[in-house]
Amino acid sequence: MVGTGVFTSLGLQVQAIPSVPSVLLLWVLGGVASLCGALAYAELGAALPRSGGEYHLLSSIYHPVLGFIAGVATLVSGLAAPIAVAAVAFSKYMANFLPLPPLAMAVGVIVFATLIHSLHVRFGALLHSGVTYFNIALILVFIVAAFVFGNNQAIPLVPTAQDASWMLTPAYAVAFVYVSYAYLGWNSSIYVLDEVRDPQKTLPRSVLSGVAIVTVLYLLLNVAFLKTASMQDLAGKIDVGHYSAQAMIGAAGAKVMSALIALALLATVSSYVILGPRVWKVMGEDYELFRFATKTNAQGAPVWAFVAQALIAILLVLTSTFDAILIYAGFILNIFNFLAVVGVIVLRVRRPDLPRPYKVWGYPTTPIIFALISLWMTVYVFIERPKESAFVLLTFVLGYILGLWNKRRSQPQSMQ
């Protein structure tokens, strides 16, 4: 979960919402939504234990066509797009340290992560674990440093009536997209269920502890950013960590901190590079159109799935802006997360006798809370960001057309 969003999205939020309490409340709301969604996904994952993410879940709950559309959309917006976003963020931070073309660095980190995980599975796993722990350690160090070495400017934490008025604007709902994107990953466990030991016990523990820890880290880190740099300095900036570090320890120290944050962002690239090919592989097991993705090398890695994913991510880097990719990915993923979480209720009605080793806590309140927050964001983003919304609709149409074409060539083999 810990990755691109928390190091990049604050500047975009304060640009639209110049209110510290309102912005911080966004991160609390994001944690609440993620926890409710994670609880629902834990029940779905334990009841329908197969890798493939929303592709498998929506196919099983609703219809294979909807699952196929979700699968196609996930391959582009749910996996390749986050890789592209993380790679662009990596290049923005690294550009403060190395005078290299940002596009070259963004493409280079995608190629590097793809090669490592597709050709050296064991080494890739160790690298990913190491960088992830480094990522969390860096956030903790940054938080402590901000309170010890920062100028600790006073920031209001209790919202006033004026702050509350921002929460009722369409801009607030759009700003929540950045937050929800930063929390993405709370559902990642279901993408690799086939490789998880005892998922009925491991999955709920994983998502609950993960969301709780990340919510606290995110809230503290954003307080640290806002206490060390003014909203005017951060507004519109992607590399907010660099400007915060510059206010704390000067220009030279900020360059070093930017390099460390860039290394931390490598964890996000690594995470999605690992997850994506598993979805490609599962779809290849079910449909001839993606059969190439089932071919593995001597170490069991689906090499061609890695290649296809990397090519899509690089194309997005070369043709889109950071903000556009982030809104597009966050918007469309929210739609499929909404359908999956509501699917907990649908599945209980349609298949009451289905074994459920884990049942969502607070049912039906928790899935309803997630659904309401999700709908609120979806409606306003659709109105406020028509261009990204059009690409979301285009993705649905593309998935549907590919589904119809693929249906003529093959039928699902392993839908359960």
Mean pLDDT of 185-213: 71
pLDDT for 124 beyond 60: no
Q: Domain spans of the chain?
A: 4-409
Q: How much is the pTM?
A: 0.80
pLDDT in tens, 226-251: 888 888 888 888 888 888 888 888 88
- Tens-digit pLDDT profile for residues 142-198: 888 887 776 666 777 777 888 888 888 888 998 898 898 888 777 766 655 556 677
Question: What does the DSSP 8-state code read for residue 97?
Answer: T
Lowest mean pLDDT among 71-80, 90-99, 196-205, 255-264: 196-205
What is the helix (H) or strand (E) element at residue 5, kind and residue range?
A: helix 4-8
- Pick the closest to residue 60 from 280, 272, 286 (CA basis): 286
Task: Give the span between the Cα atoms of 34 and 215, in whole angstroms.
Answer: 9
Residue that has been written with the tokens 């160790």 in this structure:
126
- Top pLDDT among 132 and 412 is at 132
pLDDT averaged over every residue in the chain: 82
Between these two residues, 191 and 132, which has the higher pLDDT value? 132
Two tokens at 159? Answer: 């919202």
Is the pLDDT at 105 greater than 50, yes or no? yes
CATH code that applies to domain 4-409:
1.20.1740.10
Residues with Cβ within 8 Å of residue 57, at least 6 apart in sequence: 44, 48, 67, 190, 340, 343
Instruction: Please provide residue 63's backbone torsions phi and psi, each rounded to the nearest 5 degrees.
Output: -160, 145
Q: Which two tokens stand for residue 348?
A: 């209980």
Between the ranges 8-22, 114-128, 134-148, where is the mean pLDDT highest? 8-22
Percent residues over pLDDT 90 in the chain: 17
Query: Which amino acid, one-letter code, is at 131?
Result: V
The predicted-structure confidence for 61-72, as pLDDT tens digits, reads as follows 998 888 888 888
